[in-house]
Each structure stands twice: as C-alpha cells, then as structure tokens.
C-alpha cells in the first residue's frame, strides 16, 4: 500500500481541541485495525517542552524513551493505548538546530539557506524517515497552532508541497460560534478562515466544526459551500459528555467511511473493539456512584498542568464505575488557611508533581491531615517527596526535615539531589527521565495494585529519597514498598495503616482509557470504600 497521510490543521483560534480531533481520527482508524501513528508539529523554538512552564503551556508529557513532549502526546497515547516515541514530535527548535548543524558541516555549500526550500525540505525528510522507520498504514500529522500564525507557517507550506505528489487528506478544525444558546450559529469566521487557507494553497477535504450546540443544517450547508465540499464532509464536533466519545460521534456521522474512501482503504470495522470502547464510555456517562478526590497542587490555576492526572482519574473512575469529582485545591491556600473543612469532605487526596518551594508547606499540611484521618492518599513524585518530609517531621521527629530543593541548608535532607545529577549544569533534557524499573515489596499495597513484582513507570525528577534516612524512617513505620534495583533508589513508600502510597514515578502518564493505571484503580477503590464507610 503506498504511504497514506492525514494532516490536521486548525482555523481561527487555539484551544478548540485539535489534539482531541487528531486522537479521535487515530482511534477511528484503530477500530479498523489499521496501524496508525501520530506526528505533531510544534512551531516554538524550544527543542522540546522540557524547559517550559507547566503553568503556561500545560503539562510536560514524558515518553518511555525519555522524551519530554507536548501534552498532545498524552492524548494520543490515552486514545491509542500504545507507547509512542519522541521522534514523532517535530518542533521548530529541533528543525532549526538540525539545519544550522548541517550548514556548519558544509551540507549546503555555496547556497543561502532558506525557509523555503531548505527548512520545508527538512520537514518533508523527517516525515519520510518516520514513515520508513515505522511503516504504518496511515500517518496522522497534527500541525500545532492556527492558520495565520507565523510560527507554524513553514509547516503549512511544507504540507502543501508534500501533498502535491502524495496521498494526503487535509482535515481542518474550525469554530462555529453562536451568540447565545438559542442564537443562530455564525459561519462567517469559518468562511474567512477557509479563504485564508485556500490562499496558502491548501483546500480542505474535511471540515470539522467545533461548537457548543449541535451544528445546524444551515451552518453545515454554508460551510460546505465555502469549502467546495459535499455536506457529508462537514462534521459536527459539538460539546459532549467526554472527549472519549468523539471517535464514536465521528463514526455516527460517517467520517470513518469518508476518510477510508479518501485513503483508498476498504476494510470492515472491528466491532469488538468498538463495543469495548462504547461500554467504557457508558460508564463515564452514567456511573453507578461518585467519589470526591482533592488534588492539592501548586499549579491548580491551569488544569492542563495536571492533564494526565485528571484523565487517569476518569479512566480509573470508569473502571470502578464511579464518577470522580475533583476538588482542585491550591496548596498555598492550605498554608494560609488550613482548609480542614474542605479536606474533611474528601474521600481521597492526591498531591501531584511539581517544582520549587512555593506551596510545599501546604502539601505537607494536607498529607498530615490525610495520614492522621486515614483518608486514602496518593503522592506522585513531588507528592511522594513531601510525604517523606511529612513523615520525617511529624512521626520521626526530625525537626525541619525537608527536600534540599526547598531548603538547601536543611539539617535533615530526607530528599536530596540524585548523586549523578550533581555534575549536571545544562537544564534541557537532563532530569532522570523516562521509563525505569521498580521491584515492589510483597504484601505492600503497591504490589496489590499492580499484582506483580517487577513494574515500569515513567519519571521526571532531579531529587530522590535520601537512603541515609531509610533506616530511621523504616524504624518509625514507613514502608519502603518499591526499589529501583539498578540505582538502589526508593521508588514507592507507604503508610502502614490505611491506604497511603507515594511514588517517585508518574503512573498517571501511562494511564489509558482501555488500561487505567493500576495504582489509580486501587486508589479509587479505596476512595469508594471510604465514602461507603462515612
């Protein structure tokens, strides 16, 4: 089969859910048992997302292979239920650094190196090399940003060139506003956006319309007319109860048939796969119960900072047939106001990852409250580190114990910089990143959650549990529940009583709708028990 490509572009504005649309297209093709892979173009000049602020850009997603990638990769993996690799993320930073290196080596002797054709060729070569290496049935390329951005203009131009002699279907996501709920849907912004796209030499094969209410016939007809398409190629993407329903919503409108026709593929859908997906969705839609979980973090102002965590709770909630209501608690607020009223209403508490001192004392307060009141608790990375600090201070009596990240002069540095991190001076891609093995202690809650001894989870940190304090913490009842065998690094800790697990890893990064993270499944079960016992 000759290479097949789908390119997903965005009109008008960001934040419409282009990642969800791309993931849904991928999933739709996966229902047909096609081998499909995503590629993401990002125009920013950072080499990768690792040095960005989660508060601005959202979560930094980490893959098994140590790559720090855009949070859209989290979406792709959660839909596709497959581990992806960092070479699928193509950023402006990677492209420019490669191009300049090539030029310095004499790769373009005698030429003046230009955006067109050198940079655009570089993009095309990247795509072709991914195709050769992975040999998928279909590559789905998501172009980050919006038509009209300077940052992604060279990606769009390269896709125009790319499509001239290849099998490419262009999917374009637009926004159809209505002034109020009963107001008429307006297509003028889309008309202007489509004209802009046509000026760039690209005409869409499919237009997907993001809107609040269902797309009206009048609006659909008008958009079809302006994009030279039949109306079955203008697709509704109105508000739904969960993004995981989007692939099914697309299938219900026949988008699968249209896409397969464009790709020249004739296949039958794998009904068992689709049914399984539908049955999980129905648990999200009408769960049997609900639990209240508090997330005590330092970036709660931007929920996307914790995208994988939020999704992991949806997955494990659906698995346990409950809705997990999240109370986002800014940890600095707990420092100032205590907020025990709010904490007492929770069936479970999570302290997630993070960097820097701000808010950590509030996290420690919340952890102490969970431990003392036997509220099921999960500490993830920084959360596990603060769980260690809380135990050292309040149970072992190690006064002012801390992580050296928060207090470099602390007398008891129960969390300290990883030995091999000490010599590292550069910041990009130098943390302890990616998948590491861990051996779980039999009889521990962690072992019970995973039902196996040897597990692998993803990491992103520079500090670790200080083994010098292992004895005193253990003597005072802290359970060391998991160790990385190669580095002898404590990866999992637990309280003896109740359910309190801290892990240096980020199990939320591997949670998918069809295979929720085991530790989250156990945590939600414990939260259900707690709510039943109230």
Nearer Cβ to ligand GLN, position 237 or 405? 405
Nearest approach in angstroms of CB 459 to ligand GLN is: 8
Say how far apart CA 503 and CA 451 lie, in whole Å: 16
Residues 272-311 that bind ligand GLN (CB under 6 A): none
Nearer Cβ to ligand GLN, position 233 or 461? 461
Nearer Cβ to ligand GLN, position 125 or 419? 419
With binding defined as CB under 6 A, does residue 510 bind ligand GLN? no
Q: In 10 A of CB 132, how many CB atoms? A: 9
Residues 325-364 that bind ligand GLN (CB under 6 A): 353-355
Q: Which residues have CB under 8 Å from 328's CB, separation 6+?
A: 295, 297, 300, 303
Say how far apart CA 85 and CA 357 lie, in whole Å: 32
Nearest approach in angstroms of CB 305 to ligand GLN is: 11
Nearest approach in angstroms of CB 486 to ligand GLN is: 18
With binding defined as CB under 6 A, does residue 381 bind ligand GLN? yes
Say how far apart CA 394 and CA 148 lie, in whole Å: 56
- Among residues 279, 298, 275, the alpha carbon closest in space to that of 287 is found at 279
Residue whose entry in the numeric block shows the structure tokens 């794998």: 270
Q: How, if at all, do strands 489-494 and 500-503 pair?
A: antiparallel
Nearer Cβ to ligand GLN, position 282 or 467? 467
DSSP 412: -
Continuous segment of H or E residues that includes residue 471: helix 470-475
Q: Is the dihedral of CA 210, 261, 244, 67 positive or negative?
A: negative
Nearest approach in angstroms of CB 432 to ligand GLN is: 8
Nearest approach in angstroms of CB 476 to ligand GLN is: 23
Say how far apart CA 382 and CA 362 lie, in whole Å: 13
In what order do the strands lie in the sheet containing 413-417?
402-403, 413-417, 463-465
With binding defined as CB under 6 A, does residue 193 bind ligand GLN? no
List the x/- string, 391-410, binding to ligand GLN by CB under 6 A.
--------------x-----
Nearer Cβ to ligand GLN, position 126 or 300? 300
DSSP 82: S
Nearer Cβ to ligand GLN, position 291 or 312? 312
List the x/- string, 452-491, binding to ligand GLN by CB under 6 A.
--------xxxx----------------------------
Nearer Cβ to ligand GLN, position 338 or 429? 429
Q: How, if at all, do strands 463-465 and 61-62 pair?
A: unpaired
Total of residues contacting ligand GLN (CB under 6 A): 10
Nearest approach in angstroms of CB 414 to ligand GLN is: 13
Q: Is the dihedral of CA 406, 354, 348, 498 positive or negative?
A: negative
Task: Please give the positions annotated as active site.
Answer: 381, 506, 508
Nearer Cβ to ligand GLN, position 306 or 463? 463
Nearest approach in angstroms of CB 74 to ligand GLN is: 15
Q: Which residues have CB under 8 Å from 486's CB, separation 6+?
A: 437
Nearest approach in angstroms of CB 342 to ligand GLN is: 23
- Among residues 246, 249, 203, the alpha carbon closest in space to that of 226 is found at 203
Nearer Cβ to ligand GLN, position 244 or 463? 463
Q: Which residues have CB under 8 Å from 122's CB, separation 6+?
A: 95, 98, 99
Give residue number: closest CB to ligand GLN: 353
Nearest approach in angstroms of CB 360 to ligand GLN is: 9
Say how far apart CA 201 and CA 358 lie, in whole Å: 49
Say how far apart CA 144 and CA 91 lie, in whole Å: 9
Say how far apart CA 90 and CA 129 lie, in whole Å: 12
Token pair, residue 95, equals 């492209």
DSSP 37: E
Among 318, 382, 483, 489, binds ligand GLN (CB under 6 A): 382
> Residue numbers of the site for ligand GLN (CB under 6 A)?
353-355, 381-382, 405, 460-463
């Amino acid at each position: 089969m000759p290479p097949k490509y789908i390119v997903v572009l965005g009109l008008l504005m960001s934040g419409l859910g282009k990642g969800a649309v791309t993931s849904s297209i991928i999933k739709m093709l996966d229902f047909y048992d096609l081998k499909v892979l995503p590629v993401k173009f990002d125009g920013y000049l950072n080499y990768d997302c690792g040095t960005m602020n989660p508060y601005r850009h959202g979560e930094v997603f980490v893959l098994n292979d140590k790559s720090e990638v855009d949070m859209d990769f989290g979406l792709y993996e959660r839909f596709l239920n497959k581990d992806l690799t960092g070479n699928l993320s193509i950023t402006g930073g990677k492209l420019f650094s490669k191009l300049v290196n090539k030029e310095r080596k004499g790769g373009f002797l005698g030429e003046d190196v230009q955006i067109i054709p050198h940079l655009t060729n570089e993009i095309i070569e990247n795509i072709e090399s991914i195709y050769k290496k992975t040999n998928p049935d279909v590559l789905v390329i998501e172009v980050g940003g919006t038509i009209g951005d300077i940052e992604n203009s060279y990606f769009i131009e390269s896709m125009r060139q790319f499509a001239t002699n290849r099998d490419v279907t262009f999917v374009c996501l637009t926004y159809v506003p209505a002034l109020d709920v009963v107001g008429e849907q307006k297509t003028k912004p889309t008309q202007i956006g489509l004209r802009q796209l046509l000026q760039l030499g690209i005409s869409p094969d499919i237009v997907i319309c993001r809107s609040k209410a269902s797309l009206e016939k009048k609006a659909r007809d008008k958009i079809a007319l302006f994009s030279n398409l039949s109306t079955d190629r203008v697709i509704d993407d109105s508000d739904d109860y969960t993004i995981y329903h989007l692939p099914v919503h697309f299938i219900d409108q026949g988008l699968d048939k249209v896409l397969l026709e464009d790709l020249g593929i004739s296949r039958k859908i794998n009904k068992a796969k689709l049914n399984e997906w539908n049955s999980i969705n129905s648990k999200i839609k009408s769960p049997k119960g609900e639990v209240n979980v508090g997330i005590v973090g330092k970036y709660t102002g931007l929920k996307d900072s914790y995208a994988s965590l939020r999704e992991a709770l949806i997955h494990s909630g659906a698995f346990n047939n409950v809705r997990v209501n999240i109370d986002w608690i800014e940890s600095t607020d707990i420092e100032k106001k205590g907020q025990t009223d709010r904490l007492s209403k929770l069936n479970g508490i999570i302290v997630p990852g993070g960097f820097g001192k701000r808010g950590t004392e509030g996290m420690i307060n919340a952890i102490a409250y969970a431990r003392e009141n036997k509220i099921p608790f999960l500490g993830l990375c920084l959360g596990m580190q603060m769980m260690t600090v809380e135990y050292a201070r309040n149970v072992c009596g190690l006064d002012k114990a801390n992580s050296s990240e928060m207090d470099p002069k602390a007398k008891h540095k129960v969390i300290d910089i990883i030995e091999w991190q000490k010599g590292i001076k550069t910041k990009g891609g130098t943390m302890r990143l990616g998948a590491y093995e861990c051996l779980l202690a039999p009889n521990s809650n962690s072992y019970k959650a995973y039902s196996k001894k040897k597990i692998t989870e993803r990491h992103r940190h520079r500090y670790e549990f200080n083994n010098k304090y292992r004895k005193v913490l253990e003597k005072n009842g802290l359970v060391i529940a998991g160790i990385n065998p190669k580095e002898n690094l404590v990866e999992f800790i637990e309280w003896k009583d109740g359910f309190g697990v801290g892990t240096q890893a980020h199990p939320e990064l591997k949670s998918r709708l069809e295979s929720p993270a085991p530790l989250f499944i156990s945590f939600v079960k414990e939260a259900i028990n707690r709510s039943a016992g109230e």
